[in-house]
Amino acid sequence: MGVRPLSNNDSIEDYAVSIIARRIAGDIVLSDDPGQSLKKWRDYFDASQQTVARVMGVSPSVVSDYEKGRRQPGSKFIQRFVTALLSIDRARGWPKLTQLTRTLGVPPGVIIDMRDFDEPLSIAEISEIVEGILLAPTYPSEKKIYGYTIIDSIRAIASLSGTQFYTLLGGTPERAVIFTGVQAGRSPMVAVRVSPVKPSLVIIHGPRRHVDPLAVKLAELDGVPLILSLAKNVQDLVAKLRTRSIRNIDLAAAGLSGL
């Protein structure tokens, strides 16, 4: 599948849909009354049982049975239910997603791409994918990376707090954070330095020759491997990483993903 030209709006939409979908699904799974939680979210999205049932391809009585506790929802039903709510919201112009996204605290335009790998990769494997040069420090050969977040470094550094930076780590800090638009590397590593949680790998993209020695020193102090990617551009970087990535929820099949 080819990669369409990057769009900040599409990227933050894709990111927000994935995060919000997992949040809603988690709320339903962890609820003492899953049926009531299903109804709560359906009401929040201003969707009738009939509308949700139509999008899911089931009868309204099925949705009613789950909401009233006559059936217990499994993971597949919950995923289809959440996907239906988001499909309905998309058709209306994302009014509810927009409200929920504000709770993430990540300004639009920061996220370029954010995905999990289909299987964990070693730092050496990731370095090869991004045409990388390891700058610092040495790392355990068994260290595994479970996903990546590609961000616009200028927007991120200018607008994110340490807590918001943590949000970029997704479901686990065992992932790579990739800063694009980097000139020398100092600012991204300062951001990592003040973050309460450190990523397992930092990749900088932008410098072609000179990387600030302070950036390397900060990486060494934090024990965070630092790689310089020589990918020709951001789109190339995204395309290479996507060949090894998956989606945490089947957004593409639901027609929810713009990417």
| 107-116 per-position pLDDT tens digit | 666 778 888 8
Whether residue 8 has pLDDT greater than 60: no
Same domain, 65 and 155: no
Whether residue 204 has pLDDT greater than 50: yes
Whether residue 188 has pLDDT greater than 90: no
pLDDT of residue 111: 78
Same domain, 89 and 115: no
Same domain, 82 and 207: no
pLDDT of residue 104: 63
Domain that holds residue 128: 111-246
Mean pLDDT within 120-130 = 93
pLDDT of residue 258: 39
Mean pLDDT within 23-30 = 92
pLDDT of residue 16: 72
Percent of the chain scoring above 90 in pLDDT: 48
Same domain, 90 and 164: no
Same domain, 125 and 67: no
Among all chains, which residue has been given the structure tokens 């600012």? 187
Please write the tens of the pLDDT for every residue from 211-235: 999 999 999 998 899 999 999 999 9
Which of 102, 127, 151 is the C-terminal boundary of a domain?
102
Out of 6-15, 36-45, 128-137, which region has the weakest mean confidence (pLDDT)? 6-15
Q: Is residue 254 part of a domain?
A: no
pLDDT band at 248; cut points 50, 70, 90: very low
Same domain, 90 and 116: no
b (16+ CB within 10 A) / e for 213-229: eebbebbbebebbbbbb
Tell me, letter by letter, the H, E, C secondary structure of 38-93.
Answer: HHHHHHHCCCCHHHHHHHHCCCHHHHHHHHCCCCCCCHHHHHHHHHHHHHHHHHCC
Give the chain's domain count.
Answer: 2
Same domain, 235 and 115: yes
Average per-residue pLDDT for the chain: 82
We report the CATH number of the domain holding residue 224 as 3.40.1390.20
Same domain, 98 and 132: no
The residue among 143 and 122 whose pLDDT is bigger is 122
Same domain, 92 and 160: no
Which of 78, 102, 126 is the C-terminal boundary of a domain?
102
pLDDT of residue 4: 33
Please write the tens of the pLDDT for every residue from 136-167: 877 666 788 988 888 888 777 666 665 666 66
Same domain, 134 and 152: yes
Q: Is residue 253 part of a domain?
A: no
Which of 102, 134, 155 is the C-terminal boundary of a domain?
102
Whether residue 237 has pLDDT greater than 60: yes
Among candidate residues 11, 243, 241, the one with its CA nearest the CA of residue 132: 241
Same domain, 94 and 184: no
Asked if residues 201 and 224 have their Cβ atoms less than 8 Å apart, the reply is yes
Same domain, 98 and 118: no
